[in-house]
Amino acid sequence: MTKQWKDQIEVDHNHDGIDRRGFLKCMAWAGTGTLCVMQGGVLKSFALSRFNESDATAAAKAELSFAQISDSHMGFNKAANTDVAGTLKAAVDKLNALPSAPEFLLHTGDISHLSKPEEFDAVEQILKSASAQQVFYVPGEHDVTDGDGKQYLDRYGKNTQGAGWYSFEKRGVHFVGLVNVMNLKAGGLGSLGPEQLEWLKKDLEPLGTSTPIVVFAHIPLWSVYPDWGWGTDDSAQALELLKRFGSVAVLNGHIHQTMQKVEGSVTFHTAASTAFPQPHPGQAEGPGPMKVPAEELRKLLGITDVNFVRGRDAVAIVDGSLA
């Protein structure tokens, strides 16, 4: 039976290979189980409910599968979620049930709530039950509340530079973990700093433009909502360095909701938290924990499944809730 990609959209309005109308349709489905596949610069989308067996097989044969979790805030115990350990365990169960078993995990920060050793320990303990045993971390601002990030770096600083940035390869895909939560200035947003940007330049230099890149950092590297600190002051310089590559995925956390944006060959994505949701930009007085009825909580928490498919010019980023 031939695959019916009913929602395949290939209308290239701006002659840059990006189907914006199709992208908006894809965005509208985000959070309900949508597969948005970027393939050769053209966005194809189809709802997971119509994800038939042959599609599942294709995903299972993905060249590289990993998952992103974020904002576990171990130690948080207020009304928005009095059991963040329980919801993190539910996230691990969800990861272990994914059709394409992720080989490793990326944790995009706010691992702990108050940078306490017992909080970091608790997360590590819970993640031991994940079948994906290797976890790559970047810190969130809650992980470096001790000022110099010592608690975080003592645990996760090995093989990193500066405030904890690093890169690694997995089957020809280049991963870059960036730190944008240190040395924050009054009134500012997230910050990468000149030392890290200089390192990034050198790190990317030897790579060919067809190398798929995945950048992960806590605070969004695009301007989601500056009033609430949802952006990075000097991310433009990093994005300039990434411009020449054919496939770049930028994975962030911090905002506790899923959001996606495509700009040229760069796909930006933020993951949900495994701990508590936050309001949509401007929908509340501040970006704090959002209380919802108990039965709604797990619908607003989640994990993200990422698969590189077919020759690696396509990356599928799928958000799944804990409900």
Partner 1 sequence: MRNKAGWRKAVLVVGVTCLLGGAVRVASQGSKSSTPVEVKIDNFSFSPTPVTVPVGTTIKWTNHDDIPHTVVSDDKSTFRSKPMDTDETFTYTFTKPGTYTYFCSIHPKMVAKVVVQ
Mark out the alpha helices in 30-111 (DSSP H runs).
53-60, 84-96
Smaller CB separation from partner 1, 16 or 227:
227
Least separation in angstroms between residue 131's CB and partner 1 is: 32
Smaller CB separation from partner 1, 11 or 79:
79
Coil, helix or strand for 163?
Answer: coil
Which residues, listed in sequence order, are joined to residue 307 by a DSSP beta bridge?
Answer: 65, 316
Smaller CB separation from partner 1, 199 or 276:
276
Smaller CB separation from partner 1, 162 or 279:
279
Query: Pick from 281, 287, 323: which is nearest to 302 by CA?
Result: 323
Least separation in angstroms between residue 135's CB and partner 1 is: 24
Contact assessment for residue 116 and residue 123, using Cβ atoms and an 8 Å cutoff: no
Rounded to the nearest angstrom, the gap between the alpha carbon of residue 289 and the centroid of all alpha carbons in its chain is 19
Least separation in angstroms between residue 179's CB and partner 1 is: 15
* Sequence-ordered list of residues with C-beta below 8 angstroms from that of 146, at least 6 positions apart, any chain: 115
Smaller CB separation from partner 1, 172 or 226:
226
- The full length of the chain comes to 323
**Residue 56 in tokens:** 């599942």
**Residue 78 in tokens:** 């207020």
Smaller CB separation from partner 1, 6 or 185:
185
Can you give the binding site for partner 1, defined by CB under 8 A?
78-80, 113-115, 141-142, 145, 147, 184-189, 226-229, 285-289
Least separation in angstroms between residue 56's CB and partner 1 is: 40
Neighbours of 9 (CB within 10 A): 17
Least separation in angstroms between residue 302's CB and partner 1 is: 20
Counting runs of H as helices and runs of E as strands, what totals does the chain give?
A: 8, 13
**Cα separation, 105 vs 113, whole angstroms:** 20
Smaller CB separation from partner 1, 81 or 304:
81
Least separation in angstroms between residue 20's CB and partner 1 is: 31
Least separation in angstroms between residue 121's CB and partner 1 is: 18
> Which amino acid type is present at position 142?
H
